[in-house]
Structure 1
Amino acid sequence: MLKEISLLILVAVLWGSTNPLIKKGTSTVKIVNVTHQSRFKRLLHEWQILLLNFSFIIPFGLNQLGSILYFFALQNVDISIAVPVTNSLTFIFTAITGIILGERKPRKKTYIGILLILFGTCIICYDRYKMDIKH
């Protein structure tokens, strides 16, 4: 069970820490506004700009790696554990990364929220661990 929980935490780190980085990487991309091009050519040009933007593509790739790991974790973990653990911890890592990047100033409510999420996640994991021991 510890291996699976660790994998879910790794997924949350990958998802949460890359969310602000993806946002930051796309903020520099400008919409191509060429009227003489067809919609399809304009879309291809925008994708080309985006895929050559390493400040977007590297965090995006790590985010997708998290999705692949999540898929493997779901093979061994009950979904009633995987979803709340991963999603709640993703919020924590997104908030921490946002604070590190200077997107937002840390507030007391943020820290209280992080502590409550950690407490709730520990309760869920402990309860599941207790159930596994009984069976």
Structure 2
Amino acid sequence: MTIVTAAWLIVVAGFWGATNPFIKRGSKGIESIKESSPFKQFIAELLFLITNWKYLLPFLINQAGSVLYYITLASADLSLAVPITNSLTFIFTAISGHLLGERIESKKTIIGMLLVVCGVTLCVLDKIS
């Protein structure tokens, strides 16, 4: 794995993690949709989401991250690609949520995030050297 591939995987994690809190916020209100049948419920919820730019824009950015992930997998070591993107997605989600006003409840969470970054760094350094 090259440093460039690792950087692209970090970008993917950023796309996924940064958009998660926005997708959550954009989907607020969907729980109040009530229809008479499961099919009508599905259609009403789908229309709610695809006509709501606060949901749709972060969702499309998130999906662009998925396309980039798929492209990057061609040159990535799979045993590193999955842990890098999944663990760093958690960190980007926590940071984005915090920037939007969500609280990080515990110092243990911050310590865990730092340990994840250290672990990912060690894994990448091991593979590129």
1-structure distance, mates of 2:27, 2:71: 29
- Paired position in structure 2 for 1:97: 96
| Contact 2:49–2:56 (8 Å) recurs in 1 | yes
- Paired position in structure 1 for 2:26: 25
Q: Does 1:10 align with 2:11?
A: yes
Moved more, 58-67 or 43-52: 43-52
2-structure distance, mates of 1:106, 1:69: 32
- How far does residue 107 in structure 1 lie from its aligned partner after superposition? 3.7
2-structure distance, mates of 1:39, 1:87: 33
| Contact 1:31–1:46 (8 Å) recurs in 2 | no
If you compute each CA radius of gyration, which structure gives the higher value, 1 or 2?
Answer: 1
User: Amino acid of the residue matched to residue 109 of structure 2?
Assistant: T
- How far does residue 18 in structure 1 lie from its aligned partner after superposition? 0.8
Equivalences, count: 128
Q: Which runs of 4+ in 1 moved over 6 A?
A: none
2-structure distance, mates of 1:5, 1:34: 46
TM norm structure 2: 0.90
Higher relative contact order (CA 8 A, sep 6+): 2
Q: Over aligned residue pairs, what C-alpha RMSD do you find?
A: 1.5
- Deviation digits for residues 78-122 of structure 1, max 9, x if unmatched? 100101111111111011011111122464222211211111011
| Contact 1:99–1:106 (8 Å) recurs in 2 | no
**Stretches of structure 1 lacking an aligned partner (at least 5 in a row):** 131-135
- Say if 1:125 and 1:41 are closer, same or farther in 2 by CA, change over 3 A: same
Q: Percent identity, please.
A: 45
**Stretches of structure 2 lacking an aligned partner (at least 5 in a row):** none
- How far does residue 6 in structure 1 lie from its aligned partner after superposition? 1.1
